Structure formats: structure tokens, C-alpha cells
């Protein structure tokens, strides 16, 4: 076993190289990692490697660090632009996707049983990290509001999905498979555990954020900051899971909110922390865990099960997984997104379609599948008849296999085509002057974060820090004000072009009416008609170019 544990070093090295290659060729990085895991399984067959490395434990650590990093990059001020939609997608949306997907799977394939709803819940979280990596490598930047919605949704819906899987659907499936009535809980207890997990998660997160923040600021040495930051998500998640004996599972929520509180310390009454150093550390740690999880997911997939048929039927597992992917991608996700965003009058159908299409599945679903299967297997009490053990094993293979198939289809279909849809639908952020000012603003923000880091590390005098901080904040405010003015000017320019176009059309309509009545000669009508139509075409081109950011909005 000890020798097998050393394989994790090779896994990290190979995984890092594959992630770089996928970035070069604009592929979602989980794809080559999962394939590498499948190749590794053929080269080193057996169940010892995942067991030796502790797959369930690694999956939990991955969820903790990924959720913490997502929270650490969350700007609450920017989230205000899309908070209602994000909150709805992360709560009602997750539940709706789970029920719609689970119900569709259950009705289409009754042989799966109640495990269909567990699969639906596992597939409800999204992974914009894989999506954004493809968008960035392809030079595509979606509009700010859409980006904010996708990012905010990912931060919160992963944690909600974890609680939903562990406190609601996992016990229901376990009772259904094992048939032990002692495992059953009344609905009001399950609801209490779900809500309690969220509440306790937020409370624990605030305590951890305050405690770690105090320790970091007391000794702001770069090495200590890196160590404490890397340990924070594990501490938050682990502290939350200590309440498991009460039926609560607030670990995931504690991890994500700890990151949010530490990133927005000033807004929640905490001292400002060295965010840049913390983000860099967490980004590297979470990426390392993601590499291991995706490779181990590929390793643990039962290829003989996936390429075969369900027991007692002639239905291929691959077909079932493909149909589930279609149900999740084309039915459950669009329905929940379009229903939730319906009250937002400013959001177009293009925005809704892209948000729906951008719900790529990734690390959260992979980690949840590993955790759910492990919990399901360990729920079996001693002395359970072999027939029930076989049922649980088949259910575990079904969950892992279907999640694997949906994951691969989602990454290939949605991950690769999302940049193309963003361009075709005209959802890219404004370019040229807008980009230049945005870059200046981001550079100034970076300088401000660096200044905060140096101040917390004792390298800058408090009085000088106060002066420089005020200057940088004023510069950021002025740049953001310029961006707002550019947007307003562009809208005004578009309105002017549209009105001029309508005026030309009105003139043309008048000439057509007068010509049909015989009040103007044909030569006059033809000359004026050609002239006005040429002007309309020119205005139409100008409107299109202005919308695409190809001409100056005040030109």
C-alpha cells in the first residue's frame, strides 16, 4: 500500500502537464485528466490505488478547497448586480434541477429506482472553472452580468448541492436499497437538517474567518500566510463535519462562506487580509486536488459495466448515460434557468440560453459521486444478505458510470462549444477603449491588493498606507465612472442610429404611398428610393458595428 501512495506524485506531475496541453488546444482540462485515469487503470488494474490514496477523503478535501477558493474570489459588491438570480439559481435552481433531472431519469429508466434522484442532485452543480479556462484560452470574455451570474452560481450551488445530496437524497436511496427502517427519517427532520446545515455552516465560517484572520495578521510572514491559508478550508470543512452526529453536514457551506468572509473582510466587520497571497496559495492547492480527483474518477470507472447492459435487460449503460446527459443538459437545466430568470425583464433570451448552456459539469459532481458512493457502501450494516449487497454495488456502479458519462458529454459538448455560442449570440464584453480602461482598472485593483498585502506584512507605514490606499481607491472610482459613461454613450449612440433608421423608413414609406397615388413621377420616386435605401443600409451597418464595439460609441 505504501508504494501505491507514492503514485500521487506521478499523478500530479502528469496531470499538470495534461492541463497545460488542454489549455493550449482550448479543451476543458478535466477531459485529458479523466482519460489519463482510465489509461492508468488499464496499466495498473486493481482497487488498491484509490483505497490507498483515500478517494473519499481526497474528494472531501477537493470540495473544501475548491469551495473555499470560489468564495475567496467572490466580490460581494459586484455580486449585487446579479444577487437575486444567483440566490435563486443556487437554491431553487439546484432543487429544481435535481427533481426535474431525477424525475426524468426515474420515468425514463425505472430500473434505476430512487437512485435517479441522487444522480440528479449530484449533477446539479456547475463548474465554470473549466468553462472559463476555455473562454480565456479562446480570447472570449462574456458580458459582466453573465459572468457574475455564472461565477456567483458556482460559488453557492456547489455547497447547496453537497448538503442536498448528503442530507436528503443519500439517506432516501440508502433506505430504499438496504430496506432498514431505522435509517429512515421523517420529512421535517430531513428539512431541519438541510436548513440547519446551511445556518451552522455560515456561523462556523464566520468564527473560522475571524480566528484565522487574527492569526495571519499577528504574524504576517509569507510562509505562515501560505500555510494558514492552505489549512483554512480543511479546518472549516472539518469543523462543520463534526456536527455529523447530529445529522447536520455544514462542512461545504462553512468552506465557501469562510472564503467569502475573508475576501470581503471589511464588509463583514473583519480586518483586511492579504488577499493576493491567499488567492495564489488556494488556487494552487485546489488545482492540485482537482487533478487527483479527475484522474482517480477515470481510474475508478468500471469500463466493463459502462460498456455492458443493465442486469436482466438489454439496455446498454452507455445509452442510458447518454439519454441522462440529454435530459440534464437540454431539459432540466434550461427549464430551471428560464423559469428562475423570467422575472428579470432586462435579460434577453440569448442571455438565458447562454447561462443555461454554460452549466458545464465538473469537479463538484465528480467529488460528490465519489463521496455518495462511499457513504452508500459504508451504510451497509454487518450481516446484510448478499443479494442486498449486490444491489448496493450495482447502484454504486450505476451512479459512478452515469455521472462519468454525463460529465464527459457535458465537458465535450458544452465546454468546447460555449465560446462559439458566446460569439454567435453577441455576448462578448465590449472591446477596444472599453478593454483599455478595464485593464487599467484591474491593474489598479491589483496594485491596491499588493499594497494591502505589504501593509499587513508590516512593510508599509500606516500613514503612508492610508494616503496611497485613498489615491488608488479614487483612481479605481474614476476608471469605473469612465466605463459607466462609455456604456451610457454607446446606448445613446445606438438609440440615435435606430431613430435615424426609423426616420428614413418613414420617409421611404411616404414616397411609396405618394407614388402609388400617382402624386410623384416614377423617376423622382426611383431616385429618392435608392438614396434612402442606401442610407438605411449604412445606418444598419453602423448599428451592427456599434453593438459589436467596432466603432467608437461617440463617433
Of residues 110 and 299, more confidently modeled: 299
Q: Is the pLDDT of residue 47 over 80?
A: no
The pLDDT of residue 555 is 35
Residues 6+ apart with CB under 8 A from 6: none
- Model confidence at 45: pLDDT above 80: no
For the ranges 110-114, 478-482, 498-502, 548-552, which has the lowest average pLDDT? 548-552
Separation in Å, CA 68 to CA 62, 106, 458: 10, 34, 26
Give the pLDDT confidence of 287-314 residue by residue, as tens digits: 888 888 888 888 878 788 888 887 667 7
* pLDDT for the residue numbered 292: 82
Confidence category of residue 466, pLDDT binned at 50, 70, 90: confident
| 246-271: pLDDT as tens digits | 778 888 889 999 999 998 887 878 87
Identify the bridge partners of residue 142 per DSSP, sorted by sequence position.
428
Distance from the first to the final alpha carbon of the chain: 70
The cell numbers describing 42, all together, are 488499464
The CA distance from 35 to 19, in Å, is 12
User: What pLDDT, on a 0 to 100 scale, did the predictor assign at position 551?
Assistant: 42
Query: Domain-by-domain residue ranges, the chain?
Result: 2-424, 433-547
Q: Would you place residue 189 in the very low, low, confident or very high pLDDT band (cuts 50, 70, 90)?
A: confident
pLDDT at 554 over 50: no
Q: Which CATH number fits domain 2-424: 1.20.1530.20, 3.40.1190.20, 3.40.630.10, 3.30.1050.10?
A: 1.20.1530.20
Q: Alpha-carbon distance 24 to 459, whole Å?
A: 39
Q: Are 124 and 164 in contact (CB under 8 A)?
A: yes
CA distance 515 to 71: 67
> Would the pLDDT of 429 be above 60?
yes
What's the DSSP call for residue 309? Answer: B
pLDDT of residue 448 exceeding 70: yes
What's the confidence (pLDDT) of residue 342?
85
Least confident of 127-136, 522-531, 546-555: 546-555
Q: What is the rounded average pLDDT for all residues in the chain?
A: 79
| pLDDT score of 85 | 83
- CA-to-CA distance for 497 and 542, rounded, in angstroms? 8
Question: What local confidence, expressed as pLDDT, does residue 1 receive?
Answer: 45
pLDDT at res. 520 = 83
Write the DSSP string, 372-413: HHHHHHHTPPTT--HHHHHHHHHHHHHHHHHHHHHHHHHIII
Where is 336: in which H helix or E strand?
helix 333-341
User: Cell 460498456 belongs to which residue?
Assistant: 307
What pLDDT is stored for residue 235 in this prediction? 94
| CB neighbourhood size of 503 (10 A) | 14
**What is the reported pLDDT for 200?**
92
pLDDT digits (tens, 9 = 90+) for 350-386: 999 998 888 888 888 888 888 888 777 777 767 777 7
* CA 499/CA 507 separation, integer angstroms: 12
Residue 14's contacts (CB-CB under 8 Å, 6 or more residues apart) are 36, 295
Which grid cell is 275?
488577499
Range with the poorest average pLDDT among 108-122, 274-288, 423-437, 492-506: 423-437
- Under 8 Å CB-to-CB from 107, ≥6 apart: which residues? none
3-class SS at 100?
Answer: helix
Residue 258: predicted pLDDT: 94
pLDDT at 208: 94
Amino acid at each position: 500500500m505504501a508504494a501505491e501512495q507514492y503514485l500521487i506524485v506521478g499523478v500530479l506531475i502528469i496531470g499538470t502537464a495534461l492541463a497545460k496541453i488542454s489549455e493550449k488546444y482550448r479543451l476543458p482540462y478535466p477531459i485529458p485528466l479523466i482519460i489519463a485515469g482510465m489509461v492508468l487503470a488499464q496499466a495498473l488494474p486493481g482497487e488498491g490505488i484509490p483505497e490507498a490514496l483515500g478517494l473519499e477523503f481526497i474528494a472531501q478535501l477537493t470540495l473544501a478547497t475548491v469551495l473555499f477558493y470560489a468564495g475567496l474570489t467572490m466580490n460581494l459588491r459586484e455580486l449585487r448586480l446579479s444577487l437575486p438570480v444567483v440566490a435563486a439559481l443556487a437554491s431553487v435552481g439546484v432543487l429544481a434541477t435535481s427533481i426535474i433531472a431525477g424525475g426524468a431519469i426515474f420515468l425514463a429508466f425505472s430500473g434505476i429506482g430512487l437512485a435517479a434522484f441522487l444522480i440528479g442532485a449530484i449533477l446539479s452543480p456547475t463548474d465554470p472553472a473549466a468553462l472559463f479556462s476555455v473562454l480565456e484560452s479562446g480570447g472570449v470574455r462574456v458580458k459582466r452580468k453573465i459572468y457574475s451570474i455564472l461565477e456567483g452560481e458556482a460559488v453557492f450551488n456547489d455547497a447547496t448541492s453537497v448538503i442536498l445530496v448528503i442530507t436528503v437524497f443519500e439517506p432516501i436511496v440508502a433506505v430504499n436499497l438496504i430496506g432498514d427502517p431505522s435509517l429512515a427519517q421523517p420529512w421535517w427532520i430531513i428539512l431541519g437538517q438541510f436548513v440547519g446545515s446551511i445556518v451552522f455552516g455560515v456561523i462556523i465560517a464566520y468564527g473560522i474567518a475571524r480566528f484565522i484572520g487574527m492569526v495571519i495578521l499577528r504574524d504576517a510572514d509569507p510562509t505562515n500566510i501560505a500555510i494558514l491559508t492552505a489549512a483554512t478550508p480543511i479546518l472549516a470543512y472539518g469543523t462543520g463535519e463534526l456536527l455529523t452526529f447530529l445529522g447536520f453536514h455544514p462542512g461545504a457551506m462553512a468552506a465557501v462562506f469562510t472564503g467569502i468572509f475573508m475576501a470581503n473582510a471589511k464588509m463583514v466587520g473583519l480586518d483586511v487580509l492579504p488577499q493576493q497571497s491567499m488567492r495564489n496559495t488556494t488556487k494552487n492547492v485546489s488545482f492540485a486536488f482537482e487533478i487527483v480527483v479527475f484522474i482517480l474518477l477515470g481510474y475508478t470507472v468500471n469500463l466493463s459495466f459502462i460498456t455492458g447492459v443493465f442486469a436482466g435487460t438489454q439496455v446498454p449503460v452507455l445509452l442510458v448515460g447518454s439519454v441522462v446527459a440529454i435530459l440534464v443538459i437540454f431539459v432540466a437545466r434550461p427549464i430551471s434557468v428560464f423559469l428562475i430568470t423570467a422575472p428579470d425583464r432586462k435579460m434577453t433570451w440569448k442571455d438565458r440560453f447562454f447561462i443555461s448552456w454554460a452549466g458545464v459539469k465538473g469537479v463538484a459532481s465528480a467529488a460528490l459521486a465519489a463521496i455518495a458512493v462511499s457513504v452508500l457502501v459504508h451504510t451497509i450494516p454487518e450481516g446484510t444478505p448478499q443479494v442486498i449487497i449486490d444491489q448496493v454495488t450495482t447502484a454504486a456502479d450505476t451512479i459512478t458510470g452515469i455521472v462519468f458519462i454525463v460529465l464527459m458529454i457535458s465537458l465535450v459538448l458544452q465546454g468546447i462549444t460555449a465560446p462559439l455560442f458566446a460569439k454567435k449570440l453577441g455576448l462578448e464584453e465590449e472591446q477596444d477603449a472599453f478593454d483599455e480602461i478595464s485593464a487599467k482598472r484591474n491593474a489598479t485593483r491589483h496594485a491596491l491588493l499588493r499594497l494591502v498585502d505589504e501593509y499587513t506584512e508590516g512593510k508599509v507605514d500606516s500613514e503612508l498606507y492610508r494616503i496611497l490606499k485613498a489615491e488608488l481607491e479614487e483612481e479605481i472610482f474614476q476608471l469605473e465612472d469612465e466605463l459607466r459613461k462609455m456604456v451610457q454613450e454607446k446606448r445613446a449612440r445606438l438609440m440615435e442610429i435606430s431613430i435615424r433608421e426609423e426616420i428614413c423608413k418613414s420617409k421611404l414609406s411616404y414616397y411609396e404611398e405618394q407614388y402609388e397615388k400617382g402624386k410623384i413621377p416614377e423617376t423622382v420616386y426611383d431616385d429618392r428610393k435608392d438614396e434612402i435605401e442606401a442610407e438605411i443600409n449604412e445606418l444598419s451597418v453602423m448599428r451592427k458595428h456599434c453593438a459589436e464595439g467596432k466603432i467608437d460609441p461617440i463617433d
